[in-house]
Amino acid sequence: MGRYIIQRVLEAIPLLFLVTVATYFIMNLAPGGPLAIYLHNPHVTQSQLAILARQLGLNQPWYVRYFRWLWALLHGNWGYSYFTGQPVIQLIGERLPNTLILMSAAFTVALALGIPLGVYSAVRQYTPFDYSFSFLSFFLWAMPSFFFGLLLQIIFAVKLGWLPVAGMYSNFAPPSILELLRHLILPTLVLGLGSLAGWSRFMRSGLLEVIRQDYIRTAEAKGLSQRRVIWKHAFKNALLPIVTIIGMDLPSFFGGAVITEEIFSWPGMGRLFLSSLNDRDYPVQMAILVISAALLIFGNLLADLAYGFLDPRIQYR
Amino acid sequence: MKKMLAVFSLAVLTATVAGCGQQSAAGSASPPLVEAINQNPDSITPALGSLAVDAVPESFMDMGLIYLTPQDTWAPGVASKWSESADGLTYTFDLNPKAVWSDGTPLTSKDIIYTWHYMTNPKISILYNTGWNYVKNVRAEGLHKVVFTLTQPYAPFYSTVGSTTIVPAHIFSRWTPNQINHGIYNKGVPVDDGPYVLSKWASDEDLVLTPNAHWWGPPVHISKIILDIVPNTDTQFNMLATGKLTIGSIPPSDVGEESSLHGYSINNTLQPTYDLIQLDEDHFLKSLRVRRALDWATPKQQIVTDIMHGMAVVAHGDQVPGGYWYDPHVPRRGFSLSKATALLASDGFSKGPGGWLEKDGQELEIPIWTGATSHSETEIAQVLSADWEKIGVYAPVQTAGWSVVFGNGTPQHPGPQVNGKDEALIFSWGQGVFPDDTIDFNSEFVPKSPLQPSPQENGERYINATMDKLQSEGVTLTTRPARREVYNKIQLLEQKTLPLIFLFWYKDASAVSSHLHGYTVTTFGTSPVWDWSLQ
């Protein structure tokens, strides 16, 4: 197992290097550039732009800038935002905890409700519950998050007045865990219910496939209770697709949710990434993309390792 | 059953959590003023920020030598008196001896001289230093008097230099340009000279301002100002609907829904920003008749009514209506397809085999470009295309990112501004409430070569010697009435020679809580914060 992990980590290094080259190259192919936003500012002169370009190193070819960025990164320096001048690591550090809070809450809701509901739906296949839950899942899955978010705001904040419209804390009360929880509910529902809908469908179809296997029929023939058959024999095997999806979702814990964060004014990574894209803020974009790529690789590794625990037939060499 | 119980318990917990917060909010004794802003400021370091939103916190924190009132007049700031020489080359400011920085350090002429050095330091990433480039010298006459000497008369001096942020010498002189560029001033509690200090800045969340203990001006009445960063306009409207904002904007899509907001008064304020069609004068668009025909075929009032939902007024020039420099007597050109058709016929155009007008075997093709992210501009382009095509002009709509619309592109695919073809570009623009429009229409600002990038702002390549002369007079004459006469002539010349087609001036709808008193907003700005109170 240890050797397998080391091998996978070593394989990830050239992959990450290729990701950084490809990302930097594609980013620089996009029209405009970091100074494009100033092109139509009535006060910014040509000479001022030339000074800015020199200060930011934008007068160099992209590959020169790339290797400078890479060299700095290898020395632990993530660079400075072109737009605010602040260290990239500081910009990320300010927002990452907020994103982790939101994404963890959504993940918990999706996992805690999605898996049991998927199992229940599979066990009660073709019952009114199954039909209703399938309809609801597709409805939630198909609902655009900006629309769903605004809808929840109007119902629970504007009409009923139960919950705040947006933000992390109230402007009218001291910050507290309770305030944070109140503000978490609506964005968590938007993110969590979307994932819940998807995960419960995967769980349902995974379990339906497993419960038709011979070994399940054997277990039932031996007179085991349905609960024991499902939870002891079928559940672990049906989890494999879900584990893969969760592994792939790991980068979203870091990257945040652009639309939900914007609708609920949640000060997270999604908004930072969106603004860095709009502003062509290459150092911020690169940092977020590289960390996301690393997390994706790490998530896949974790998923692969989890397979071994869930299915003893899988061996690591 | 157990699952049902779990769901019920979750619902009870949710309701409990919801209820707890409401109780503590109600118990709050002194509510703050909460104003929504749509973006995180990029910097509050003097002259380093590039976003319009930076001006909001700065308006509470910074005081220039003088400031502009909502009535479009100059009022004393750090300077208690000011004067200018008859030749327009010398400006003298007497500083208020009571003026101190928020850390208690006296604000003196040394700070003004340092500000000049700061604004002209090439190592600091100053985004723009308009006006400072005409300053030859700043001289102190004692601790409380400064004299600016200019290289040439420069009439917009008060709006570009006189009202600019003053930089605290004792703070900034400790730092290297590199530290300043990397936002060292933004950390902690920045030292400023305005009525409020920044006590908290949570990125993408809010900025909290509290009264400056060393403020030397009129006393302020609001104990806390929160600038809540709300990027989505619909969310902002929902926050207004729940009464959680003191001041917020109403998005154009929600105009007409204001009646659902209780406890607010609605202000519709004309903004010093106009929408325009830039006609790149490369081939047929060099002809004044063609440009006039297109102006006749542009349904401005329909655009204002149907696309802008009345949140705009038709523009006839580049001086903001109601302002000192606006000339209401400039003749107007309405909407008439028949006049447009006749003008094009008189210019030698006739219908070609393709169904479009042509001259000398060349079709009259004017693609209409605008930014893909702007919904209203795209709609305007579509309406315009339909009307221009009715008079025989082939006018396909092209949308792209703004950096593509204004950019150079590549040698193989040059951008629409530099490709040497007739193009029309729709976008918004504004030089502010001040009249100088030299960079827009002066021949000096025509791009020197096809691939010369912006900001050579005369992208339409309008060349008119009379305009050049008038604009030169406009920035060098020293008396306001004399300048106004010049700008009246400029507006008349714009109407006759059409460097651009002016579409409309934007209006901004904002909701202001009925608990907020002393707050007024006009095209020129808001009343000073010391006039505001919450009751």
Contact A91, B203 (CB under 8 A): yes
Q: Give the pLDDT of residue B438.
A: 85
Ordered per-residue pLDDT tens for chain B, 535 residues: 344 434 334 444 444 444 443 333 333 456 899 999 999 998 899 998 888 899 999 999 999 999 999 988 899 999 999 999 999 999 999 999 999 999 999 999 999 999 999 999 988 988 777 889 899 999 999 999 999 999 999 988 998 899 999 999 999 999 999 999 888 888 777 999 999 999 999 999 999 999 999 999 999 999 999 999 999 989 999 999 999 999 998 887 777 788 889 999 999 999 989 999 999 888 999 999 999 999 999 999 999 999 998 899 999 999 999 888 999 999 999 999 999 999 999 999 999 998 999 999 999 999 999 988 788 999 999 999 999 999 999 999 999 877 778 777 666 777 787 788 899 999 988 767 688 888 889 888 887 655 554 446 788 889 999 999 999 999 888 788 999 999 999 999 999 999 999 999 999 999 999 999 999 999 888 999 999 999 8
CB-based contact B238 A179, cutoff 8 Å: no
Q: How close is the nearest chain B Cα to the Cα of A134, in Å?
A: 18
Contact between A116 and B3 using a beta-carbon 8 Å cutoff: yes
Tell me the C-alpha to C-alpha distance, in Å, between residue B42 and each of A170, A250, B168, B302: 24, 29, 20, 37
Q: How far is CA A33 from CA A39, A56, A276, A278, B409, in A?
A: 10, 12, 11, 10, 11
CA–CA distance, B197 with B103 (Å, rounded to integer): 10
Asked whether the beta carbons of B416 and B399 are under 8 A apart, the reply is: no
pLDDT at position B449 is: 59
Candidates A36, A168, A178; nearest CB to B17: A178
Task: Look up residue B71 and give its two tokens.
Answer: 């009535």
User: Do the Cβ atoms of B128 and A48 come within 8 Å?
Assistant: yes
Query: What are the φ/ψ torsions at residue B89 (nearest 5 degrees)?
Result: -100, -15
| pLDDT at residue number A75 | 85
Contact flag B454-A40 (C-beta cutoff 8 Å) = yes
pLDDT tens digit sequence for A1-37? 788 888 888 888 899 999 999 999 988 887 667 777 6
Does the beta-carbon distance from A85 to B43 stay under 8 Å? yes
Min distance B424 CA to chain A CA atoms (Å): 16
pLDDT score at B490:
97
* Residue pair A80/A251 in contact by the 8 Å Cβ criterion: no
What is the pTM assigned to this prediction?
0.84
- The distance of Cα A191 from the centroid of its chain, to the nearest Å, equals 10
Neighbours of B302 (CB within 10 A): 13
Return the residue of A nearest to B30 by Cα: A172
> Which pLDDT score, from 0 to 100, does residue A12 have?
86
**How far apart are the CA of A27 and the nearest CA of chain B, in angstroms?**
14
- Host H or E run for residue A102: helix A88-123
Do the Cβ atoms of A125 and A226 come closer than 8 Å? no
* Host H or E run for residue A130: helix A128-142
Closest residue in A to B459 (Cα–Cα): A40
Write the DSSP assignment of B327-348 as a string of letters.
-TTS------HHHHHHHHHHTT
In this prediction the ipTM stands at 0.85
Radius of gyration of chain A (CA): 24
Q: Which residues, at least 6 apart from B92, have a Cβ–Cβ distance to it below 8 Å?
A: B82, B83, B84, B145, B146, B147, B148
Q: Which residues of chain A register pLDDT less than 50?
A: none
The closest of B492, B493, B486, B482 to B472, measured between CA atoms, is B486
> Tens of pLDDT along A163-213?
999 999 999 888 899 999 999 999 999 999 988 888 999 999 999 999 888
By three-state DSSP, how is residue B43 classified? coil
- Asked if B182 contacts A85 with a C-beta cutoff of 8 angstroms, the reply is yes
